[in-house]
Structure 1
Amino acid sequence: MSRKVAALVLAAGASSRLGQPKQLVEFHGERLIDRAIRIAQQAGASPIFVVLGAEHERILDALTTSDSGTRILINKGWKRGMASSLALGAAAAERVGADDLLVLTCDQVTVTPEHLMRLMEGSHREHVVASYYSGRRGIPALFPDFAFHALQDLTGDTGARDLLQDDAVFTVPLPGGEFDVDTPEDLHRLRAMEHDSAHSRVQIGSIEDTKRSPAEDLA
């Protein structure tokens, strides 16, 4: 029997240290919130719940997704911390009968659809599966339905950190997972990453252009 994996994109914070909504920061021409929705879709999650809070009207206006599988949740209590968004998302996943809930933020740009799929493959509905980076467990993480009530009972701004410390939690390595966009310095680093990857693509294209076939040489 196939599993119903819902996703929860945490995007309710005020980005106070960054000085602008991180949700609307662009990376390779794509807003971070749109990117998070896209990679969750590409991993096969549905429905995708997006929790908004601070400046939710501005962010809603900027969203480009038109997929009916994306559902917006407004967290009026977003100032209480990340736990309030997790509780909101877990309750929504429970209502739609999801077997698992894949939790991710919008600003971890090293996360790929392939990594999310590896989290999903590691669970079998028996284990919480967390990403592993910088010597610790964190999100993105996948929570089977047995953990939904625990997510709804969380309080404060530590998120699901305590739930991920159990010895029964499986882990999937995520190189660079510690990088997120919280400060102007992080944004500067993001721009450098963007430039470096674009430069690499140009170099690869130049190398490929020089690899002419014998037929091309005779043309």
Structure 2
Amino acid sequence: MITGIILASGFSRRMKKDKLLIKVDGESIIERVIKACINSKLDNVILVYRSKEVKEIGEKYNIKTIYNKDAYLGQSQALKLGMNEAIEANDYMFLVGDQPFLTSEIINILIEEYNNSHLPILVPYYNGIRGMPMLISSIFKEELLKITGDKGGRDIVEDNIFRVKKVYIKEEKLGMDIDRPEDLDLLNMNKK
């Protein structure tokens, strides 16, 4: 069972407004990510949120929502909350809430590649650049639960590099995330 955990409880400090609520083609970025997840082959989807507006979008799609009261501790806190809720998961797909062009097709390709590889970690590369979402087997659960600060499973990937399936996706835009005001210009260019 693969559980998708959407990490959506950051503070958007570089953007200076909640980037997850920015509209792309009439939908908020977080809604686009949620729809990609629920229309994919993920067995379960969990949304870890901080803002009420993000929670309401998750509830609209009947997915499990978890409030991250300790969001100031960094991305690792959201990761742990999601994992602790995903009791039956054999594998975790960690997604970020700020990838407006992520599709259910990409998620399905990553799941298929992961299942066929028999390796416990999968990382996508968009036009050669490492990105998200990443898949990690629950065999790393204890190590993942020890992560602290504003990072996800990066250290586990680097410590187990020979156990990582790399999936190369040519179209860089599919892995694009939105962090800074300048990214909005790229976002508008990439919509075409």
TM-score range (shorter-chain normalised) is: 0.7 to 0.9
State the aligned residue count: 186
Q: Structure 1 residue 109: deviation in Å?
A: 2.8
Once the two structures are superposed, residues 167-219 of structure 1 have per-residue CA deviations (whole angstroms, 9 ceiling, x without a partner) of 2110112331563111111012212222x2xxxxxxxxxxxxxxxxxxxxxxx
Is 1:27 the counterpart of 2:24 in the alignment? yes
Is 1:153 the counterpart of 2:146 in the alignment? yes
Q: Structure 1 residue 60: deviation in Å?
A: 2.6
Q: Provide structure 2 residue ranges, at least 5 long, that are not aligned to the other structure.
A: none
Partner of residue 185 from structure 1, selected from 182, 186, 191 = 182
Q: State the TM-score, normalized to the length of structure 1.
A: 0.77
Once the two structures are superposed, residues 69-108 of structure 1 have per-residue CA deviations (whole angstroms, 9 ceiling, x without a partner) of x111111111111111111111111x2x112211111222
Q: Distance in 2 between matches of 1:155 and 1:167?
A: 24
Report what 1:104 is aligned to.
95
Q: Structure 1 residue 43: deviation in Å?
A: 1.3
Identity of aligned residues (%): 28
For 2:67, the aligned partner's letter is: I
Q: Is the 8 A contact 1:91 1:148 kept in 2?
A: no
Q: Structure 1 residue 162: deviation in Å?
A: 1.2
Q: Distance in 1 between matches of 2:128 and 2:154?
A: 13
Q: Distance in 1 between matches of 2:109 and 2:127?
A: 19
Q: Which has the larger radius of gyration?
A: 1
Correspondences of 1:112-131 after superposition (within 5 Å): 112-124=103-115, 126-131=119-124
Q: Is the 8 A contact 2:74 2:148 kept in 1?
A: yes
Q: Distance in 2 between matches of 1:178 and 1:32?
A: 13
CA RMSD of aligned residues (A): 1.9
Q: State the TM-score, normalized to the length of structure 2.
A: 0.87
Report what 1:203 is aligned to.
none
Partner of residue 47 from structure 1, selected from 28, 44, 49 = 44
SS in 1 for 2:162: coil
For 2:104, the aligned partner's letter is: P
> Cα–Cα, structure 1 residues 144 and 45, in superposed 2: closer, same or farther, change >3 Å?
same
Q: Structure 1 residue 147: deviation in Å?
A: 2.0
Q: Distance in 2 between matches of 1:192 and 1:66?
A: 29
Partner of residue 64 from structure 2, selected from 60, 65, 71 = 71
SS in 2 for 1:85: helix
Is 1:171 the counterpart of 2:166 in the alignment? yes
Q: Structure 1 residue 126: deviation in Å?
A: 4.1
